[in-house]
Amino acid sequence: MAGRKIVITGVTRGLGRALAEEFIAQGHTVFGCGRGGEGIFDLRLTHAAPHGFSVVDVANDVKVGIWAADVLGHGAPDLLINNAALMNEPKPLWEEEDRTFTQLVDVNLRGVANVIRHFVPAMIAAGKGVIVNFSSGWGRSVSAGVAPYCMSKWGIEGLTKALAEDLPDGMAAIPLSPGIIDTDMLRIAWADGASAYPKADVWAKKAVPFLLALGARDNGKSLTISGVPD
């Protein structure tokens, strides 16, 4: 498992930041992106080459393409993790503004498709690789007030399972629920109720070995990180 090349979106905070730190701590090379310039600058200062971190909005296909071309200069990733996502403020669907609804769709769905478009052909050419698209418990169930987020994560489930059918033998695409973790995103929906769940850095110590163990046998399966509540 040593020396894997890992690509992660949304690395400036939350699950993405925790994953980047833990993968690096375990000796893997991480290339990540995020929208927050300050977070990316901090990662660059903390983790020099061969790691690489870039300011990229995954909703912008052109910017994703430029970033991917740079990362792929180091070879195709062994593991591609689509983590970047937005959560809506809890409210009935009819109260959701078109602007915020569209922003969520652009990141949570179009952003994943953009990353796949620019990275997966190189993974296919290399004949290997695992694509993990983060889903959610709300990608397999629903609750009041979070219809836009539920819609996007149900979409991730379908998109990923269909992608799995397109991939050649030896590769895998997996819709993965990370479980319930105390992050800024969860606090948007649950406020202080999020504190009953593990912090991202604790979660990452279970998540990283789980992710590294994924392979072709898992292609198309809806999975959840073992040992984390969902």
Question: Where would I find the H helices in the chain?
Answer: 14-25, 37-46, 61-72, 98-105, 111-126, 147-166, 184-190, 200-212
Within-domain flag for 153: yes
Cβ atoms within 10 Å, residue 2: 7
Q: What is the DSSP annotation of 78-131? A: SEEEE-----PPS--GGGS-HHHHHHHHIIIIIHHHHHHHHHHHHHHHHT--EE
Name the catalytic one among 53, 67, 149, 203. 149
pLDDT in tens, 89-135: 999 999 999 999 999 999 999 999 999 999 999 999 999 999 999 99
| Confidence tier at 199 by pLDDT (50, 70, 90) | confident
Q: Is 149 a catalytic residue?
A: yes
pTM of structure: 0.94
The C-alpha atoms of residue 80 and residue 173 are separated, in whole angstroms, by 9
**For residue 186, pLDDT beyond 60:** no
What's the confidence (pLDDT) of residue 198?
A: 74
First to last CA, the chain: 27
pLDDT in tens, 42-83: 999 999 999 999 999 999 999 999 999 999 999 999 999 999
| Confidence tier at 180 by pLDDT (50, 70, 90) | confident
Within-domain flag for 94: yes
Total domains in the fold of the chain: 1
Within-domain flag for 128: yes
Within-domain flag for 41: yes
What's the confidence (pLDDT) of residue 129?
A: 98
**For residue 188, pLDDT beyond 80:** no
Range of the domain at 80: 5-224
Within-domain flag for 229: no
| CATH code of the domain containing 16 | 3.40.50.720
